[in-house]
């Protein structure tokens, strides 16, 4: 079977240069007792894939060395201990890596049925993004109906899902984006207050629109550059959930608001979780969000689809940040 491989970063190249990729042929992997082998139709592109390609996000021990964290496709074989899936079942799945391939192995508990009415393309856009948003906005962030939430990176794959899930939770949604076109897209998705961080002083807008109170929850991927303003923009007992550090993870700030406002600062990353934890999140998502998807709500927003062989173009688009929503790869047929 074929898989996209990437070279190790070459010393001496400017930081951030993407190492070369190529399609290689390898033996079809065999599932262990708890795994299934999926024949892939579509794979989702996620920002962590770019970090992995740059050598900044090594796969966890035992995981595939190749990129690709989510797929849709058909079960091609099952491990000896797998009872919930059979050959021929159509699924979407979180993978520990290796999704940019014709076939990929994953834990049986990390597969989900295709939600009613969704295409295989739409289904492949769900696992990594929806599980991340569920785990951080709903579980760690404990978003409640009637609260205010600030979602940074509103036009990202994560952001467009977080906006929709927060509206479904009946929260008031503030979001930041880098262009007016992205601002329009986020408003169409239901965001109540959209701020262009290049032209608006977003922390002041939050202060004004909340009558000086601040928001109850912030979902942040920006990190260092926003840390001081995030703390300033949280209400009493507010929560800050960190899912990435796009501008770095080191900064010097005054932490006093953490204590004075009794804030909670937390965060998490999906890939590092145990198989059991991922299976639990998968079950929670199926129980709560799958029925919504089947009703046509909370649908993934897909920006573009590239053939697997055009992975470099897909990654260049993600690096450019010109997209709104998900970038996808068509693998087969
Ligand atoms: N913790 C987890 O488990 C987990 C899982 C998946 C993804 N993530 C993280 O979540 C983030 C989004 O992932 P994705 O796959 O949805 O990526 P994506 O679609 O490429 O989104 C990244 C977004 O970040 C914004 N951005 C980039 N640089 C920025 C800056 N300096 N200041 C403000 N905004 C900036 C860009 O929007 P603008 O053009 O508007 O700036 C872009 O839309 C990534 O950082 C990824 O690593 C975390």
* pLDDT tens sequence for the chain (333 residues): 999 999 887 777 776 678 999 999 999 999 999 999 999 999 999 999 999 999 888 888 888 999 999 999 999 999 999 999 999 999 999 999 999 999 999 999 999 999 999 999 999 999 999 999 999 999 999 999 999 999 999 999 999 999 999 999 999 999 999 999 999 999 999 999 999 999 999 999 999 999 999 999 999 999 999 999 999 999 999 999 999 999 999 999 999 999 999 999 999 999 999 999 999 999 999 999 999 999 999 999 999 999 999 999 999 999 999 999 999 999 997
Check if 161 has its Cβ closer than 6 Å to any atom of ligand 1: no
- Using an 8 Å Cβ cutoff, are 266 and 230 in contact? no
CA of 24 to the centre of ligand 1 (A): 29
Check if 242 has its Cβ closer than 6 Å to any atom of ligand 1: no
Average pLDDT, the chain: 96
For residue 125, the model assigns a pLDDT of: 98
pLDDT tens for 295-305 read 999 999 999 99
* Other beta carbons within 10 Å of 14: 5
Check if 155 has its Cβ closer than 6 Å to any atom of ligand 1: yes
- Ligand 1 binding pocket mutation candidate from 68, 130, 220, 221 (most atoms within 8 A of CB): 221
CA of 80 to the centre of ligand 1 (A): 39
Which residue, 136, 134, 185, 131, is CA-closest to 156? 185
For residue 159, the model assigns a pLDDT of: 98
Check if 196 has its Cβ closer than 6 Å to any atom of ligand 1: no
Check if 48 has its Cβ closer than 6 Å to any atom of ligand 1: yes
Which residue, 169, 163, 288, 297, is CA-closest to 219? 163
Check if 218 has its Cβ closer than 6 Å to any atom of ligand 1: no
CA of 244 to the centre of ligand 1 (A): 7
Check if 128 has its Cβ closer than 6 Å to any atom of ligand 1: yes
Identify any residues that bridge with 134 across adjacent strands, giving them in sequence order: none
Check if 112 has its Cβ closer than 6 Å to any atom of ligand 1: no
CA of 294 to the centre of ligand 1 (A): 27
Phi and psi at residue 151, to the nearest 5°:
-110, 110
Check if 269 has its Cβ closer than 6 Å to any atom of ligand 1: yes
- Ligand 1 binding pocket mutation candidate from 156, 179, 199, 222 (most atoms within 8 A of CB): 156
Peptide bond into 333 cis (omega under 30): yes
If you write DSSP's letter for every residue of 87-134 in order, what string do you get?
TT-EEEEE-SS--SBSEEEEEGGGEEEPPTT--HHHHHTSHHHHHHHI
CA of 270 to the centre of ligand 1 (A): 15
CA of 171 to the centre of ligand 1 (A): 22
For residue 15, the model assigns a pLDDT of: 65
In the block, tokens 């770095």 appear at: 248
In sequence order, what are the residues at sequence separation of 6 or more whose Cβ sits closer than 8 angstroms to the Cβ of residue 313? 306
Check if 70 has its Cβ closer than 6 Å to any atom of ligand 1: no
Residue minimizing CA distance to atom 28 of ligand 1: 246
Domains of the chain: 2-126+271-330 (3.90.180.10), 130-267 (3.40.50.720)
CA of 155 to the centre of ligand 1 (A): 9
Check if 118 has its Cβ closer than 6 Å to any atom of ligand 1: no
pLDDT tens for 228-258 read 999 999 999 999 999 999 999 999 999 999 9
Question: What's the whole-model pTM score?
Answer: 0.97
CA of 133 to the centre of ligand 1 (A): 12
């Amino acid at each position: 079977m074929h898989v996209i491989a990437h070279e190790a970063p070459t010393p001496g190249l400017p930081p951030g240069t993407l190492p070369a990729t190529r399609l290689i042929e390898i033996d079809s992997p065999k599932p262990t007792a708890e795994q299934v082998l999926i024949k892939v139709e579509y794979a989702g592109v996620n920002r962590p894939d770019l970090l992995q390609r740059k050598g900044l996000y090594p796969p966890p021990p035992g995981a595939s060395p190749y990129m690709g964290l989510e797929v849709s496709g058909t079960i091609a074989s099952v491990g000896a201990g797998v009872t919930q899936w059979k050959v021929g079942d159509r699924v979407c799945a979180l993978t520990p890596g290796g999704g940019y391939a014709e076939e990929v192995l994953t834990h049986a508990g990390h597969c989900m049925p295709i939600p009613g009415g969704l295409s295989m393309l739409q289904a492949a856009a769900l696992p990594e993004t929806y599980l991340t948003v569920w785990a951080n906005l709903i579980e760690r962030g404990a978003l409640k109906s009637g609260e205010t939430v600030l979602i940074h990176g509103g036009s990202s794959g994560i952001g467009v899902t977080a906006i929709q899930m927060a509206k479904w939770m009946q929260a008031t949604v503030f979001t930041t984006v880098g262009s007016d076109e992205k601002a329009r897209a986020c408003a169409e998705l239901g965001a109540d207050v959209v701020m262009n961080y290049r032209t608006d002083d977003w922390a002041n807008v939050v202060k004004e629109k909340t009558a000086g109170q601040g928001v109850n929850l912030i979902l942040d991927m920006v990190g260092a550059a926003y840390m001081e303003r995030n703390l300033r923009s949280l209400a009493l007992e507010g929560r800050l959930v960190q899912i990435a550090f796009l501008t770095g993870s080191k900064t010097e700030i005054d932490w006093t608001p953490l204590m004075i406002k009794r804030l909670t600062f937390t965060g998490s990353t999906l890939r590092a979780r145990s198989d059991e934890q991922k299976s639990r999140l998968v079950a929670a998502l199926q129980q709560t969000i799958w029925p919504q998807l089947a009703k046509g709500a909370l649908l993934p927003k897909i920006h573009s689809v590239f053939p697997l062989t055009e992975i470099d173009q897909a990654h260049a688009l993600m690096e450019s940040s010109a997209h709104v929503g998900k970038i996808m790869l068509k693998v087969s047929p």
